[in-house]
Amino acid sequence: MVDSRAAAEQSDGAGAMMENNILNGIGACFEACCVVCAGCGCTPNLATVQQEHQGIVTKFGRLDRILPAGRHKYNICSETVVPISLMEQVIDVPHQEMMTQDNLMVKVDAVCYYRVEKADLAYFEVNSYPYAVMQLIQVTLRTVIGENTLAEVLSERQKLNMRVQELIDKGTDPWGIRVTRVEMKSIDIDNGMQRAMAAKTEATQEAEAKLIQAKAQRDSALILVDAASKMESNPGAMKLQWFETLRIIATQGQNTTMIVPDSVDAPKQQKL
């Protein structure tokens, strides 16, 4: 039983090898027939690889070679040429809802820039690498947003962008893809949360303004107390200040009548 199965497998392998050799032979004959048309560039066994691209040549489903930019001959019966772009690609990640560490909902959209560095890995290691990169970006964004509070997400966007890029680049490395940049274009929160944050900010600013005003009044009172103490010990200073006050009143330019004493003396201390 085992011998018959092995014999059948050996027969199938030999048949497949023979079929491959036949196809290679047909392709070679076709290539020879097309030599006449090669001068005008219309031969069908020529593949053109554009600049900033590489051509993946598969032979019966297996990687055979990688073609640089230019025109190349290939066996049309046994080989397939697949162009892979090496240019920087852009993925626009649409709005998606995410939960922050403090259980608040935000909507984030982002953009990712990447380029293929190893065309063979991008073709063989992942099925549809643009779709795979898109899914990886969305999952990574959710993970990073979930690790931070809303305040950190809003205030440390650049730090989060670098963290997302690092994680995505690590995930795409086995695919021969390098992520060059990730940017969160917008971070939106619902109207109710916006009103709550605005009210909190307004209350904080009002409290800070009252605190500043109270400190200013305290400092002003201390200055006045110090000035009064010095004037009390020096009656001449009191009179000079009085004259300065009269000068300011006189320069106001208003048609008003004010009754003031002709002089002012420092209060005398009463003896007990």
| Mean pLDDT of all residues belonging to the chain | 77
Domain-located, residue 269: no
Q: Say if pTM beats, i.e. exceeds, 0.85.
A: no
**Strands 70-73 and 62-67: what pairing?**
unpaired
Listed residue (182, 164, 174, 184) closest to 114, CA to CA: 182
Listed residue (93, 226, 80, 211) closest to 161, CA to CA: 93
Local structure of 43: helix, strand or coil: coil
185 and 206 share a domain? no
Range of the domain at 226: 194-246
Q: DSSP state, 98?
A: E
Domain-located, residue 115: yes
Domain-located, residue 251: no
207 and 118 share a domain? no
207 and 116 share a domain? no
95 and 183 share a domain? yes
31 and 123 share a domain? no
Answer with the one of 64, 85, 106 that is the final residue of a domain: 85
139 and 224 share a domain? no
Lowest mean pLDDT among 98-107, 177-186, 198-207, 255-264: 255-264
184 and 203 share a domain? no
Task: Please tell me which residue, 268 or 57, carries the higher pLDDT value.
Answer: 57
Total domain count, the chain = 3
79 and 93 share a domain? no
pLDDT tens for each residue of 175-185: 999 999 999 98
Which pLDDT score, from 0 to 100, does residue 1 have?
47
The CATH number for 124's domain is 3.30.479.30
183 and 102 share a domain? yes
Q: Which of 35-49, 156-170, 207-221 has the highest mean pLDDT?
A: 156-170
Asked if the model's pLDDT at residue 87 lies above 80, the reply is yes
145 and 108 share a domain? yes
Q: Which residues contact 175 (CB under 8 A, 6 or more apart)?
A: 121, 122, 125, 126, 129, 132
Residue 43: how many other CB atoms lie within 10 Å: 17
Which pLDDT score, from 0 to 100, does residue 132 have?
94
Domain-located, residue 81: yes
Place of tokens 């305040």: 151
Answer with the one of 70, 85, 100 that is the final residue of a domain: 85
Tell me how far apart the alpha carbons of residues 4 and 10 are, in angstroms, rounded to a whole number.
10
Give the DSSP letter string of 208-235.
HHHHHHHHHHHHHHHHHHHHHHHHHH-H
Asked if the model's pLDDT at residue 23 lies above 70, the reply is no
Tell me how far apart the alpha carbons of residues 27 and 43 are, in angstroms, rounded to a whole number.
13
Which pLDDT score, from 0 to 100, does residue 221 have?
77
Domain-located, residue 122: yes
Domain-located, residue 254: no
**Residues 45, 48, 50, CA angle at the centre, nearest 5°?**
170
Q: Where are the beta strands (DSSP E) in the chain?
A: 46-49, 53-59, 62-67, 70-73, 79-85, 89-99, 105-116, 177-188
Domain-located, residue 228: yes
139 and 210 share a domain? no
Lowest mean pLDDT among 137-141, 145-149, 175-179, 204-208: 204-208
Tell me how far apart the alpha carbons of residues 83 and 133 are, in angstroms, rounded to a whole number.
19
Answer with the one of 142, 161, 189 that is the final residue of a domain: 189
What is the token pair recorded at 46? 């020529």
pLDDT tens for each residue of 33-65: 555 454 544 455 788 899 999 999 998 888 989
| E strand or H helix at 31 | helix 2-33
Confidence grade of residue 253 (pLDDT, cut at 50, 70, 90):
low
Confidence grade of residue 2 (pLDDT, cut at 50, 70, 90):
very low
Domain-located, residue 114: yes
107 and 68 share a domain? no
pLDDT tens for each residue of 101-136: 888 888 999 999 999 999 999 999 998 999 999 999
Local structure of 173: helix, strand or coil: helix
